[in-house]
């Protein structure tokens, strides 16, 4: 089908933006259906781009290619595949076998993610468009990456439609058979990942570099890891010679996973000898209700606090509230590490909200660092930029 766009959207697509919103479509040659490819022509009737058409979605077209006309076929996808893999070739040493191989739109693969956990790969799709291509994608993955296992994950919003349209389901094995959890290594630390039923693809691979930074800063510090999930930051802190680590999470499953991850690494005496505490609580309440506790380092990595644009302001207030209470129990010479994965809160807003809250506390501090995306999680357009993290060192 042929599509024409309103001028601003035409400019955006020309500039490389991978999404066309429904209100940016000026005309369609016919009623499009899910799975159609939409060819976008510019105001001079020249080919501009081609993308996945999604009739029900506010993101009406997800661009697959712009520039000169091309055939979107298996050979095209194989080339794209190689490009994504090659991009990661030299990023990690042999002690890291958990990382992202394809990061959606930012790698030219709209609504598709591929993560590696050692010899298990997890393909996560966010659009039913990919369902009919799964056999081809599996074959390409086997050919190029030779995994023992390939798991299919689907975002919640497409699961019902996928069940109607196909016999595919979330957590299904596409190649081999594996049960949760699988084990993998991140910078020499062994972790479990719940690839078939866990959040995302089973683990938060995007915080690897921040965890390393925490390891460098943790020596001699008592550490509180808020929103700890499977204890990623805590393990790095323990290996970095933290005096103690406390995991705080609302979920018992998360805390149990953290304990298993510590057990997996007990050969490392720095990990096995580090005193641990687990706190099952709502972080907002616990931080407020325990003003007499003290920690030399507090890590804050909450889940997304703004699922919609309209929740942006509330999310910023929540980050500020967490920062205020954390500073209240941060010891002198203490470090606050505060991360945000809310895409609707921009990095500049976050990087201004946290220091201004710190300033209002009246305590002197200096900023150590600001970080953005991990190298295997490139973000090629503003909406893809979700992760930011700031490090503040208080007197």
Sites of contact with ligand SAH (CB under 6 A): 204, 207, 227-230, 232-233, 249-251, 254, 282-284, 301-303
- Report yes or no: 373 and 385 within 8 Å, Cβ to Cβ: yes
Q: Which is nearer to ligand SAH, 154 or 205 (CB)?
A: 205
Q: Which is nearer to ligand SAH, 22 or 251 (CB)?
A: 251
Q: What strands lie across the sheet with 19-21, from one edge to the other?
A: 19-21, 59-66, 47-53, 37-41, 2-5, 25-28
CB of 174 to ligand SAH, least distance (A): 25
Q: In whole angstroms, what is the distance from residue 383 CA to residue 345 CA?
A: 10
CB of 191 to ligand SAH, least distance (A): 9
CB of 98 to ligand SAH, least distance (A): 12
Q: Which is nearer to ligand SAH, 175 or 271 (CB)?
A: 271
What SS3 state is found at 13?
helix
Q: Which is nearer to ligand SAH, 230 or 340 (CB)?
A: 230
- Report yes or no: 40 and 48 within 8 Å, Cβ to Cβ: yes
Q: Which is nearer to ligand SAH, 118 or 136 (CB)?
A: 118
CB of 112 to ligand SAH, least distance (A): 22
- Strand 222-226 and strand 295-300: pairing? parallel
Residues 6+ apart with CB under 8 A from 29: 1, 2, 3
CA angle 283, 286, 287 (to 5 degrees): 80
CB of 155 to ligand SAH, least distance (A): 17
CB of 234 to ligand SAH, least distance (A): 9
Q: Which is nearer to ligand SAH, 120 or 342 (CB)?
A: 342
CB of 242 to ligand SAH, least distance (A): 15
Q: Which is nearer to ligand SAH, 5 or 387 (CB)?
A: 387
CB of 32 to ligand SAH, least distance (A): 37
Q: What strands lie across the sheet with 388-394, from one edge to the other?
A: 276-280, 244-249, 222-226, 295-300, 330-340, 388-394, 365-371
Q: In whole angstroms, what is the distance from residue 390 CA to residue 339 CA?
A: 6
What's the maximum distance between 2 C-alpha atoms anywhere in the chain? 69
- Report yes or no: 194 and 213 within 8 Å, Cβ to Cβ: no
Q: Which is nearer to ligand SAH, 1 or 250 (CB)?
A: 250
Burial class (CB in 10 A: 0-12, 13-18, 19+), 359: exposed
Q: Which is nearer to ligand SAH, 152 or 283 (CB)?
A: 283
CB of 228 to ligand SAH, least distance (A): 6
State the alpha helices, DSSP H only, in 124-231.
134-145, 156-165, 208-217
CB neighbourhood size of 380 (10 A): 15
């Amino acid at each position: 089908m042929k599509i024409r766009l309103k001028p601003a959207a035409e400019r955006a697509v020309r500039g490389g933006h991978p999404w066309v919103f429904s209100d940016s479509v000026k005309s369609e040659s016919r009623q499009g259906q899910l799975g159609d490819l939409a060819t976008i022509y510019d105001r001079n009737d020249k080919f501009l781009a081609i993308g996945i058409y999604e009739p029900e979605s506010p993101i009406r077209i997800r661009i697959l290619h712009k520039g000169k006309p091309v055939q979107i076929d298996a050979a095209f996808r194989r080339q794209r595949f190689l490009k994504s893999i090659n991009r990661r070739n030299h990023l990690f040493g042999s002690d890291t076998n958990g990382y992202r191989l394809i990061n959606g739109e930012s790698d030219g693969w709209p609504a598709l993610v591929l993560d590696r956990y050692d010899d298990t790969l997890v393909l996560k799709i966010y659009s039913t468009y990919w369902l009919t291509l799964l056999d081809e994608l599996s074959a390409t993955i086997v050919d190029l990456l030779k995994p023992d296992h390939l798991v299919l994950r689907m975002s919640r919003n497409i699961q019902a439609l996928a069940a109607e349209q196909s016999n595919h389901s979330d957590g299904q094995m596409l190649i081999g058979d594996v049960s949760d959890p699988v084990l993998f290594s991140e910078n020499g630390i062994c972790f479990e990942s719940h690839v078939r039923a866990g959040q995302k693809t089973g683990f938060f691979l995007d915080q690897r570099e921040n965890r390393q930074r925490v390891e460098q800063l943790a020596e001699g510090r008592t550490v509180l890891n808020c929103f700890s999930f499977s204890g990623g930051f805590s393990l790095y802190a323990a290996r970095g010679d933290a005096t103690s680590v406390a995991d705080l999470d609302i979920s018992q499953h998360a805390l149990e996973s953290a304990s298993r991850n510590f057990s997996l690494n007990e050969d490392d005496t720095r990990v096995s000898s580090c005193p641990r505490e687990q706190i099952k609580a709502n972080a907002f309440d616990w931080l407020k209700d325990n003003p007499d506790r003290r920690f030399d380092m507090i890590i804050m990595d909450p889940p997304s606090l703004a699922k919609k644009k309209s929740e942006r302001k509330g999310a910023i207030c929540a980050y500020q509230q967490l920062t205020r209470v954390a500073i209240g129990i941060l010891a002198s010479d203490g470090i606050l590490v505060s991360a945000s994965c809310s895409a609707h809160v921009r990095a500049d807003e976050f990087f201004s909200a946290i220091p201004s809250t710190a300033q209002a506390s009246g305590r002197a501090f200096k900023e150590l660092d600001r970080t953005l995306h991990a190298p295997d999680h490139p973000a090629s357009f503003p909406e893809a930029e979700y992760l930011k993290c700031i490090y503040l060192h208080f007197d």
